[in-house]
Structure 1
Amino acid sequence: MKKLFEHHIARIDRKIELYIKLSSKISRARLTIFIVTLLFAFLASGRLHELVYSAILIAAVIVFLDLMGRHKKVEQFIEKLGFLKQVKGEQIARLELNWDEIPFRDINRDKYLSHPYAQDLNIIGRRSLFQLMDTSIYEGSSKVLSAWLLNQSKDVEPIKKRQQLIQELAPLQLFRDKLRVEALYTKSKAGRYEWNMEQMLDWLRLPKKTGFLLPLLIMIILSVSNITLGILAMIGKLSSVYVVFSFVSYLTALKFTGDKVKGLFDAAFQMEKLLGSFSNILSHVERFKASDDKEISQFLKVYQEEKIKPSVVLKKVRRFSVAASVQKNQVLGPLINLVIPWDLYFSMRLENLKEELEPKITKWLDKFYELEALNSMANFAFLNGDYSFPTFNKDADALFKAEELGHPLIPENQKVANDFEIHSGKDLFLITGSNMAGKSTFLRTVGINLVLAYSGAPANAKSLNTGLYRIFTSINVNDSLGDGLSHFYAEVKRLRELLDELNKDEDQPLFFFVDEIYKGTNNKERYAGSAAFLREVAGKNGIGMVSTHDLELADLESEIDALSNWHFVESIEGGKMSFEYKLKSGPCPSTNALEIMRMEGLPV
């Protein structure tokens, strides 16, 4: 697939080169037309018939303007080709896990420090699942994606619906790429002081201004009075005193309505500018057609309903913006408002337009953010064609069953897949093994694939069937100098939280992961605490995977019915250590700590 993307990039480069040459040709043609037109205007003046002279000048101006329009379109196309090249380059980076070339959006990792699994399973932050998957241009879309990955409430129907949408979107590479290119181009044109979508929605949701009707009615009456009395005074039928009195009354009313019309142009301009630039994105979605039996067709219906298509509503906004722009014209604005209450009328219209637009734009944006998040997952599925969509068959004989389960954040040439299944009654796993043998990675592998399954994305497995579980981890516990917590005490608090979750009266069992339990204390107390913990969690409403270096804990298998022993091993040949990273049943038969010390030249 990398070669395919490199081929696409090479084609894009050739196109960019061609269009740069075309742009240069048009620029030279424009300059030539301009110079020739100036020379003609100077040399032919008075020598040709005026009609012929004017026609040639008009024709030259039309040609010049046409070339300007063409040049602008070519330059836009070159920019969009550049963004398409960027998209293809990022695809290669995602395939190779080249993190420096994969865009990263910070979603405030500190916010999730106490999340049940976000930190330990590398769901968010740098070099995370979120960074690998997220292709969103807009922050709202990234928030939707992160919410799906971090959601603790599991309902199988939304998951299955999302799976269907992702499977339908995955092969639509052209649709997804064009949508992303349009979004990148639109975002690149946003000015520093222009609104973003959230600011516009905040403005649309402000309380509606009222009290327009009576002042507007009074001013219309006074406006009609001014015009009528003025005409009568001009033809000598009425004294001009009445005109002055009526006009002064109109000006007074105009002054009192100043607060109501304040900011009319700025608001209309910002709204039209933002929606106008966003219209290319919405139009692309609006024009996309899929079979009626496809889930994506139903999903996009919100953009394709005839009466409230984005294109129809945006035309209305554009017309309104043109009318409201009179306020900023320092000559035309005052003149029109001295005759009729133009700004007051359109300020009232703006308040009504806000009320009409807010629910439509909210619905479109919510759906668009969801579409971008779905496209992120569809792109993930497209790049990983050997991944499979999990099933949630309750009648299966296993609580969890995976074939060739791997970790999506490990490069393909380093990844080792494992088969793994869990049956009722044997749902507490004690995993032993030497240093670096793969215990922690395997815990994370099972955990991150559960997250993928519940988000609706494909899992890094040949097949995966699982029940619906809450997830809780205690893997990468850190000390906290600010809170005065040692590593050991921080782990104790985390395990207390785990027990609280396990003891909750919930329909969905807890799937928990504990790595190197109580590693921050001495051997004697670590064994006693670990054994007590395993006895406590066994037989509860959950499934557990606990890793340890304490081989003595393996003896608990004869005491705890739910517990089973599993391990990872290494081999040492010719003074070099190698790891198989394959999960095997039973307790670990070997250790390697002393050998590692010896290999590094330490006394043992």
Structure 2
Amino acid sequence: MKNKEERYYQQRLKKVQEEYAKAKSKVNRVSTYRLLAIIASAVIFYFLLKTTILFTAIAGVCILFGFYKLVKYHDKLSDDLELKTLLLKVIQNEIGVSDGKKSIYGNGAAFEDIKHPYTGDLDVFGEFSLFHKVNRAKTAGGLLALANSFLKNAGIEEVYQRQEAVKELEIKPEWRQNFQASLFSIENAGIEQLSALEKPPKLKFEGLIKAYFYIKWLVPFLIVAAFYFVGLTVGMSSIAFFLFLHYGISGANKELTAPYFSKIKGASRELDQYRLAVDLILDEKWSSSLLRNGKERIPETHSGQNPILSFKNIVKKIEMKDNQFAAFFLYLFSPFDLVQLVQLREWINKNPEFFEKILSSIARFELYGSLGTLAFNEKDWTYPVIEEDNRVNIKMVQAGHPLIAGAVCNDFDLGKTNQLSLITGSNMSGKSTFLRTTGCNILLAYLGAPVCAKEMIVSEGIQLYSYMRIKDSLQENASTFKAEIDKIRMLLTAMNSPKALVLVDEMLRGTNSEDKLKGSIAFLEEVIKKDAFAMVATHDLRTTEIAERYPEQVKNFYFEYDSKDGELTFDYLLKEGVCQSFNASELLRSVGLNV
């Protein structure tokens, strides 16, 4: 992240801090007004009791209505204040990342798979990973969408559609921050939890309960008629009868409804977070096809309101059953919770796969919002050109490792004339980093993101396979050499594909030097035989002689170091040819070994 972007975030932080201070002051003022309103209402009500009952009742209703509106206004201000708090965290995270601190978003460690063809070697998931650098998603769907984008190649048309979406969100930093803030406090919420709300249970006496859609308006007239035409005793008896009947129907269904009500309890608060995210999506006009389609995927309601708000309104009514004061009046006229449950099911039947559609849309905007943030933060990076080609073809100009701040950049072409590129060099000179530079930028290119390079052209559909970090496994009773054999078997199979690119860093480390040399040369011969593409880093100069036998397919490259006054320095620049100087002896002498 460069100075211009850092200044933007600092200015943005200052502006939101000022908005937060104003919002907090407003909340405090309204809280004071609420307290004063309670005191004033009590005093006014005291004097109203000295007037007529009718006037007192009317005035009392007006006071309660006014206080209700004041409470709702206070809640709205409190929600706005909370959103400002989360927005500050979003912006502070970007400032922290620019200062070299870890992002507070997930690092994707849950997606790590040590047997995957490349994710472990290329630092795709986990600490200091591509996923961690890119990710600004919170929902389970958003995290999965980003992970899958690293794991599955996109076709050329889809890559360009992704680039279009990323570019559109790149220039909407405030929208992205508000969207990320709206979901910030969600902890890995997924379709499973919310989809459970889409399955209300079948009820006993459901026909009778549905009849209450209309009967509930008749009940108050019956009660009033009992008081008016018969008398107080019958009127009170009618109240007791209806309460007993409605609570009885509700109790008969308790075993069926209790698990569902347990899931729905407090759901309105969580739904509020999704509602705000959906509002932001619906209120914006989108030009890129992927974002337009994401918006269109959100279910429409006949009233035109946010679909989550429609769902939430029914859920909030169900939650009112837990208010003991309100419950008396609610159950007086109907088995309230069951009536609302049936209405909720009918609403869900009209809106099938409601949450799946909404969460998939949110996940899409989280994915491209994450990539848009990356593009905004890394203005020096560039969007790659993806070309149709039935073979592997890569051209990189001033490409660096995307996870290394201030990385040294190199030019590199990989094509038919160097489909086997051998890279030699001393320890710590940059061989492994360069292999990862190539692999990571290919992954970013297919994401639709900008790459860490001034220019990059890459053929579509390259299938990456790597052999870099080798670990033994006590659990699987596998030695280091056995793990290496398994890797080689995987690579030999992969090289049958014309689109495979193999990245190898010092193969066969778990055996003796003679077998290592024989095995390495045999592997390189296999690369040529299969007409495959590979980049191989090695310390063994004898393997580089294969370029003399296959000059039209093999090229040698190297990294070197310099030694001055016992200090080793590296320029990390890739050069054509074979390295002639190695530093292992000097490094060993530096720790006290006499070599």
Question: TM-score range with shorter-chain normalisation?
Answer: 0.7 to 0.9
Unmatched runs of 5 consecutive residues or more in structure 1: 237-242
CA spacing shift, 1:38–1:469, aligned 2, 3 Å: closer
CA spacing shift, 1:17–1:493, aligned 2, 3 Å: same
> SS state of the match for residue 164, structure 1?
helix
Rounded to whole Å, the distance in 1 between the matches of 2:322 and 2:93 is 44
Listed one character per residue, the Cα deviations across residues 466-504 of structure 1 (whole Å, up to 9, x for unaligned) are 11210000111111122222222211211111112223x
Which of these residues, 89, 100, 109, is aligned with residue 97 of structure 1? 100
| Residues 200, 260 of structure 2: 8 Å contact kept | no
Rounded to whole Å, the distance in 2 between the matches of 1:332 and 1:3 is 53
Is 1:5 matched up with 2:9? yes
Which of these residues, 565, 573, 576, is aligned with residue 585 of structure 1? 576
Give, in angstroms, the shift of residue 279 of structure 1: 1.5
| Residues 418, 554 of structure 2: 8 Å contact kept | yes
Rounded to whole Å, the distance in 2 between the matches of 1:272 and 1:25 is 26
| Residues 137, 367 of structure 2: 8 Å contact kept | yes
| Residues 215, 257 of structure 1: 8 Å contact kept | no
Rounded to whole Å, the distance in 2 between the matches of 1:262 and 1:47 is 47
| Residues 260, 347 of structure 1: 8 Å contact kept | no
Give, in angstroms, the shift of residue 556 of structure 1: 1.4
Is 1:283 matched up with 2:270? no
**1:88-487 alignment, distance < 5 Å:** 88-99=91-102, 102-105=103-106, 107-109=108-110, 111-151=112-152, 153-184=153-184, 187=186, 196-203=189-196, 206=199, 209=202, 272-291=268-287, 296-303=291-298, 307=302, 311-321=305-315, 324=318, 346-394=340-388, 399-412=393-406, 415-467=407-459, 468-487=461-480
Give, in angstroms, the shift of residue 346 of structure 1: 4.6
Residue 233 (structure 2) aligns with: none
Q: TM-score, normalised by structure 1?
A: 0.81
Rounded to whole Å, the distance in 1 between the matches of 2:414 and 2:278 is 46
| Residues 105, 137 of structure 2: 8 Å contact kept | no
Give, in angstroms, the shift of residue 72 of structure 1: 4.3
CA spacing shift, 1:308–1:427, aligned 2, 3 Å: farther
| Residues 385, 456 of structure 2: 8 Å contact kept | yes
| Residues 264, 327 of structure 1: 8 Å contact kept | no
| Matched letter for residue 82 of structure 2 | E
Give, in angstroms, the shift of residue 97 of structure 1: 3.4
CA spacing shift, 1:257–1:52, aligned 2, 3 Å: closer
Give, in angstroms, the shift of residue 452 of structure 1: 0.7
Which of these residues, 556, 559, 578, is aligned with residue 568 of structure 1? 559
Residue 239 (structure 1) aligns with: none
CA spacing shift, 1:160–1:25, aligned 2, 3 Å: same
Rounded to whole Å, the distance in 2 between the matches of 1:391 and 1:88 is 31
Listed one character per residue, the Cα deviations across residues 416-470 of structure 1 (whole Å, up to 9, x for unaligned) are 0000002214200111000111000000100111111112111111111111210
Rounded to whole Å, the distance in 1 between the matches of 2:203 and 2:100 is 56
Give, in angstroms, the shift of residue 181 of structure 1: 1.4
Rounded to whole Å, the distance in 2 between the matches of 1:210 and 1:43 is 47
CA spacing shift, 1:95–1:531, aligned 2, 3 Å: same
| Residues 300, 307 of structure 2: 8 Å contact kept | no
| Matched letter for residue 476 of structure 1 | R
CA spacing shift, 1:569–1:206, aligned 2, 3 Å: same
Residue 493 (structure 1) aligns with: 486
Is 1:551 matched up with 2:565? no
Give, in angstroms, the shift of residue 399 of structure 1: 1.4
Residue 235 (structure 2) aligns with: none
Stretch moving more, 58-67 or 533-542: 58-67
- Identity %, equivalent residues: 25
Give, in angstroms, the shift of residue 41 of structure 1: 5.1
CA spacing shift, 1:593–1:103, aligned 2, 3 Å: same
CA spacing shift, 1:392–1:49, aligned 2, 3 Å: same
Residue 240 (structure 1) aligns with: none
Listed one character per residue, the Cα deviations across residues 9-60 of structure 1 (whole Å, up to 9, x for unaligned) are 233334434444444444455555655x389559978999999999999998
> SS state of the match for residue 112, structure 1?
coil
| Matched letter for residue 489 of structure 1 | K
Rounded to whole Å, the distance in 2 between the matches of 1:110 and 1:139 is 12
| Matched letter for residue 576 of structure 2 | S
| Residues 176, 369 of structure 2: 8 Å contact kept | yes
Stretch moving more, 39-48 or 485-494: 39-48
Rounded to whole Å, the distance in 1 between the matches of 2:21 and 2:250 is 58
Which of these residues, 523, 527, 549, is aligned with residue 537 of structure 1? 527
Is 1:512 matched up with 2:502? yes
**1:24-39 alignment, distance < 5 Å:** 24-28=28-32, 30-31=34-35, 37=40
Rounded to whole Å, the distance in 2 between the matches of 1:343 and 1:42 is 33
> SS state of the match for residue 392, structure 1?
strand
Stretch moving more, 253-262 or 272-281: 253-262
CA spacing shift, 1:514–1:576, aligned 2, 3 Å: same
Report the aligned-residue RMSD. 4.6
| Residues 112, 126 of structure 2: 8 Å contact kept | no
> SS state of the match for residue 82, structure 1?
helix
Rounded to whole Å, the distance in 1 between the matches of 2:391 and 2:325 is 81
CA spacing shift, 1:482–1:387, aligned 2, 3 Å: same
Residue 234 (structure 2) aligns with: none
Count of aligned positions = 579
| Residues 272, 318 of structure 1: 8 Å contact kept | yes
Stretch moving more, 485-494 or 297-306: 297-306
Give, in angstroms, the shift of residue 538 of structure 1: 1.4
Rounded to whole Å, the distance in 2 between the matches of 1:520 and 1:133 is 35
Rounded to whole Å, the distance in 2 between the matches of 1:255 and 1:486 is 63
Stretch moving more, 127-136 or 517-526: 517-526
Rounded to whole Å, the distance in 2 between the matches of 1:220 and 1:39 is 37
Rounded to whole Å, the distance in 2 between the matches of 1:373 and 1:465 is 23
| Residues 216, 341 of structure 1: 8 Å contact kept | yes
Rounded to whole Å, the distance in 1 between the matches of 2:465 and 2:160 is 23
